[in-house]
Amino acid sequence: MITLEQVEKLRQHANISYDEARTALEKADGDILQALIDLENEGKVDAPDGGGKYMSISPATDHFEESKQTASSENTENKGKSRSGFRKVCSDFTTFLARILRKGNVNTFIIERHNEEIMRLPVTVLVIFCIISFWIIVPLLAVGLFFGFRYSFEGPDLGTAKVNDAMNSVSNAAEEIKKDINK
């Protein structure tokens, strides 16, 4: 049975007529929150901007209390939300870094000369070297191509034929340039 108090509360929060409030409550079997949701879905009521402005329903008494929030409690709530959002971002970032490090440690960078392996480094170490001393490592790798060094990758992610074919084509191009210069 729909009470006048329920109709009044719904009207107060939804800014609708008594008849619309009664009809909405009847459809929702007296559940004021569900009636508000139904009215929002029908476009008769605008959703609140920040959320949390509606009231909560006490399951034991089927009465509800308005959520009274002061500016300070809203600020506290927003800080809590931003902190939990920040935690999620941090968690996502650390998960991303862990996945990248795992892939970098599983894949290796191999340096060979005359079909003899000179050095084998995890890709993570190569990336760290490049970050720390980019202007030294990259030219050394480029100059190494002209001295007969060949580079390749091994591992589940970078050790594919496509990647290593590209590395071989770069090495072959360097050999061709070296031959042209020597002529």
Is there a contact between 104 and 141 (Cβ–Cβ < 8 Å)?
Answer: no
pLDDT for the residue numbered 109: 95
Q: Is there a single domain that holds both residue 108 and residue 159?
A: yes
The total number of residues written for the chain in this structure: 183
Final residue belonging to a domain, choices 65, 92, 114: 65
Residue 94 within any structural domain of the chain: no
Residue 20 within any structural domain of the chain: yes
Q: Is there a single domain that holds both residue 171 and residue 108?
A: yes
pLDDT band at residue 14, thresholds of 50, 70 and 90? confident
pLDDT for the residue numbered 94: 93
Is there a contact between 63 and 33 (Cβ–Cβ < 8 Å)?
Answer: no
* Alpha helices, DSSP H, located in 43-133: 71-106, 123-132
Return the structure tokens found at 120.
Answer: 């084998």
For 51, the domain range is 4-65
For residue 81, pLDDT over 70 is answered with no
For residue 66, pLDDT over 70 is answered with no
Is there a contact between 145 and 138 (Cβ–Cβ < 8 Å)?
Answer: no
Return the structure tokens found at 30.
Answer: 């007296």
Report pTM.
Answer: 0.51
Q: Is there a single domain that holds both residue 60 and residue 120?
A: no
Residue 114 within any structural domain of the chain: yes
Q: What is the rounded average pLDDT for all residues in the chain? A: 82
Distance (Å, rounded) from C-alpha 76 to C-alpha 69? 10
Rounded to the nearest 10°, the torsion over CA 161, 164, 166, 169 is -110
For residue 56, pLDDT over 80 is answered with no
Final residue belonging to a domain, choices 15, 37, 65: 65
Residue 30 backbone class (left: φ over 0; alpha: ψ -120 to 50; beta: rest): left
pLDDT band at residue 172, thresholds of 50, 70 and 90? very high
Domains in the chain, number: 2
| Residue of higher predicted confidence among 53 and 36 | 36
Residue 52 within any structural domain of the chain: yes
pLDDT for the residue numbered 96: 93
CB count in 10 Å sphere of residue 82: 10
For residue 8, pLDDT over 60 is answered with yes
Residue 87 within any structural domain of the chain: no
pLDDT band at residue 77, thresholds of 50, 70 and 90? low
Lowest pLDDT segment from 9-23, 126-140, 149-163: 9-23
pLDDT for the residue numbered 83: 62
User: What b/e sequence results for 142-164 when a residue is b if at least 16 CB atoms lie within 10 Å of its CB, and e otherwise?
Assistant: eebbeeebbbbbebeebeeeeeb
pLDDT for the residue numbered 59: 43
For residue 99, pLDDT over 70 is answered with yes
Residue 79 within any structural domain of the chain: no
Q: CATH code at 47?
A: 1.10.8
Final residue belonging to a domain, choices 65, 87, 116: 65
pLDDT for the residue numbered 11: 86
Residue 37 within any structural domain of the chain: yes
Residue 51 within any structural domain of the chain: yes
